[in-house]
Amino acid sequence: MAPLDGIKVIDLTRVLAGPFCTMLLGDMGAEIVKIEEPEHGDESRGWAPFVDGWSSYFLGVNRGKKSVALDLKTPEGADALRALIARADVLVENFRPGSLSQLGFGPRDVERINPALIYCSISGYGQTGPRSQEPGYDVVIQGEAGFMDVTGSPDGPPTRAGVAVTDYLAGLYAMQGILLALLDRQRTGRGQHVDIALLDSLMSVMTLPLGILWATGRAPHRMGNDHPSVAPYETLQASDGSIVVAVGNPRLWIQFCEALGDERLAADARFQTNTDRLKNRPALKAAIESAFATLTVDEILARLRARQVPCGRVRTIEQAIADPQLRARQMVLDLEVPGLGTVKNIGNPIKLSRVPQRAARGAPRLGEHTTEVLQALESENVSVENLTR
pLDDT confidence bin for 380, thresholds 50/70/90: confident
Residues labelled catalytic:
167
**Mean pLDDT, rounded, for 43-68:** 96
CATH topology of domain 8-204+324-379: Rossmann fold (3.40.50)
Q: What is the per-residue pLDDT across 307-330, written as a single tens digit (0 to 9) for each?
A: 999 999 999 999 999 999 999 999
Q: What is the per-residue pLDDT across 83-133, written as a single tens digit (0 to 9) for each?
A: 999 999 999 999 999 999 999 999 999 999 999 999 999 999 999 999 999
**pLDDT on residue 388:** 34
**pLDDT on residue 367:** 96
**pLDDT on residue 100:** 96
Range(s) for CATH 3.30.1540.10 in the chain? 233-314
pLDDT confidence bin for 381, thresholds 50/70/90: low
pLDDT confidence bin for 262, thresholds 50/70/90: confident
**pLDDT on residue 355:** 87
Range(s) for CATH 3.40.50.10540 in the chain? 8-204+324-379
CA distances for 163 relative to 122, 183, 214, 336, angstroms: 19, 32, 28, 26
CATH architecture assigned to 233-314: 2-Layer Sandwich (3.30)
How confident is the prediction for the chain on average, in pLDDT? 94
Q: What is the per-residue pLDDT across 241-257, written as a single tens digit (0 to 9) for each?
A: 999 999 999 999 999 99
Q: What is the per-residue pLDDT across 3-19, written as a single tens digit (0 to 9) for each?
A: 999 999 999 999 999 99
**pLDDT on residue 383:** 53
Q: What is the per-residue pLDDT across 41-53, written as a single tens digit (0 to 9) for each?
A: 999 999 999 999 9
Q: What is the per-residue pLDDT across 150-197, written as a single tens digit (0 to 9) for each?
A: 999 999 999 999 999 999 999 999 999 999 999 999 999 999 999 999
**pLDDT on residue 11:** 98
Q: Would you say residue 384 has pLDDT above 60? A: no
